[in-house]
Structure 1
Amino acid sequence: MSEPTVFYPAPLPTVGRIVHYALTEQDVERIRAQRFATAANEVAAGDVFAAVVVRVWALHPAPQCNLQILLDGPDTLWVTSRVHGAEPGTWAWPPRAG
């Protein structure tokens, strides 16, 4: 007889956790503006970067988090009140390696 499938509740975000964040067009414009005279790799809407949860505002019904996005360059981007999801402008848990 096989073992039953066990579903665990989704983990809640907490300060210091690493998540993935997908950039929006507005994020890209902000990054390009702050990089005016800085050499760094190009960004595009939909690009996914690691982000550190710096504040959790609400846990129910959907956790809202402030994040520091770790860009591929000498800079970061601060975004506020972002929720879990799969589209640009949202954060997601990194997939487990296999």
Structure 2
Amino acid sequence: MSQPHSFWPPPAPQIGEAVLYRLTASDVRSIHRQRIAACQRGAAVRAGDVYPAAIVRVAGHGPDAPCNLHVLLDGPDTYWAQQIGCGTEPGTWAWPVDERA
């Protein structure tokens, strides 16, 4: 995992960092198919739901570089999201925000 940053958000995504991913309707269909094929159960997923994800590949440079993510679902499974850009709408990743501050 990368070293902690002295400022937040970091200047660019790096492998191993935690981000948040917002599901699309297409992601939900893929997760349902994946769960049926693997005979797995998990909490219901809906378009717009936000889940934590780990960056497994960075496909560019800069703060908004597209990334491949392993999305941690509420259950025993994960979802592999590919070539995901930074943003706030469904189908994008975002840096976590500490709302306690």
TM-score bucket (shorter structure): 0.7 to 0.9
> Equivalent residues in 2 for 1:13-92 (5 A)?
13-36=13-36, 37-60=39-62, 62-92=64-94
Residue 61 of structure 1, CA deviation: 8.0
TM-score w.r.t. the length of structure 2 is: 0.83
Tell me the C-alpha RMSD between the 2 structures.
1.7
Contact 2:13–2:63 (8 Å) recurs in 1: no
Structure 1 segments, 4+ long, off by >3 Å, are none
| CA gap 1:32/1:53 in 2 versus in 1, 3 angstroms | same
**Greater Cα offset, 33-42 or 20-29:** 33-42
Q: Structure 2: 5+ residue runs without aligned partners?
A: 1-6
Q: Higher Cα Rg: structure 1 or 2?
A: 1
Identity of aligned residues (%): 46
| More strand as a share of residues | 1
- Long gaps (5+) in structure 1: 1-7
Number of residue pairs aligned between Structure 1 and Structure 2: 91
Q: Which amino acid aligns with 1:59?
A: H
